[in-house]
């Protein structure tokens, strides 16, 4: 083969490879960052994790491994609701399992240890807040209760319908978005993509747990 022809063929082959790479990056649309779907080797993913590459066509996983992690309850996105500041949506969520005061039935129940105060949990983020909630959930099971409280009002917790707890979580999520401009930017940047959670959820998970669906509804409202 002549040197000039070989160079031309090599350039074409290289161009084809580059085109394939661009196509792979843009399979969800050129308006979306390719990093949102960056593959994570299965052996490096956590046992609870749904890695970004498991998103189907037109979907995106709200992975904590990229900027979409701002939409996670774990994110350090402080907000104020009804005059009280919370360090994260996770801290807000988990603190509701804790006693509101010394006369709270949860505080009076014999044999239980509450390792944190409600205010301490409200100031937590990420896995620290989740761990505090796990301790409280264990106490709730010992008590045989399925309710949490907010400002003195009891609400059913693990339920299959959109009750008062669901409405409160939606309101807290709205506050998080309104008070954190970067959260709003990232949410709107997801366009029309179907939002998926980055962790495995129980089949009977309550609607209030389906934060990805809540964000989908709030995204619609923001566009209006």
What is the chain's pLDDT, residue by residue, as a tens digit (224 residues)?
A: 444 444 433 443 444 444 433 444 457 888 999 999 999 998 999 999 999 999 999 999 999 999 999 999 999 999 999 999 999 999 999 999 999 999 999 999 999 999 999 999 999 999 999 999 999 999 999 999 999 999 999 999 999 999 999 999 999 999 999 999 999 999 999 999 999 999 999 999 999 999 999 999 999 999 98
Which of 215-221's residues contact partners 24+ apart within 8 Å by CB, and which partners?
A: 215/62, 215/71, 215/173, 215/187, 217/170, 218/170, 218/173, 218/174, 218/177, 218/187, 219/187, 219/188, 219/190
DSSP category for residue 53: G
Which pTM value belongs to this model?
0.87
Per the CB < 8 A criterion, the answer to whether 89 and 75 are in contact is yes
Q: Which CATH number fits domain 70-223: 1.10.357, 1.20.1530, 1.25.40, 1.10.4160?
A: 1.10.357
Hey, which residues does 149 pair with through a beta bridge?
Answer: 154
Q: How many CB atoms lie within 10 A of CB 106?
A: 20
Phi and psi based region of residue 16 (left: phi greater than 0; alpha: psi -120 to 50; beta: remaining): alpha
User: How far from 100 is each of 22, 29, 94, 117, 164, CA to CA, in Å?
Assistant: 54, 48, 13, 9, 18
Tokens 């009280």, located at residue: 84
* Cα gap 62→173, rounded to integer Å: 15
pLDDT of residue 28: 80
Distance from the first to the final alpha carbon of the chain? 62
């Amino acid at each position: 083969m002549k040197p000039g022809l070989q160079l031309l063929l090599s350039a074409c082959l290289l161009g084809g490879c580059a085109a394939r790479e661009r196509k792979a990056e843009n399979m969800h649309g050129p308006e979306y960052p390719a990093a949102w779907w960056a593959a994570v080797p299965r052996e490096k993913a956590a046992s609870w994790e749904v890695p970004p590459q498991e998103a189907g066509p037109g979907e995106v996983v709200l992975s904590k491994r990229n900027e979409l992690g701002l939409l996670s309850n774990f994110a350090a996105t402080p907000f104020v609701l009804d005059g009280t500041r919370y360090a994260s949506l996770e801290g807000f969520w988990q603190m509701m399992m804790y006693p509101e005061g010394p006369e709270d039935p949860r505080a009076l129940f014999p044999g239980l240890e509450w390792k944190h105060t409600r205010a301490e949990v409200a100031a937590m983020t990420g896995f620290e807040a989740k761990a505090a909630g796990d301790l409280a959930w264990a106490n709730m099971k010992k008590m045989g209760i399925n309710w949490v409280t907010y400002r003195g009002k009891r609400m059913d917790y693990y339920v299959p319908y959109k009750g008062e707890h669901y409405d409160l979580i939606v309101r807290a999520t709205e506050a998080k978005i309104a008070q954190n401009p970067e959260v709003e930017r990232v949410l709107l940047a997801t366009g029309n993509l179907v939002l998926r959670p980055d962790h495995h959820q129980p089949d009977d998970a309550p609607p209030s747990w389906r934060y990805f669906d809540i964000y989908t509804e709030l995204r619609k409202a923001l566009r209006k």
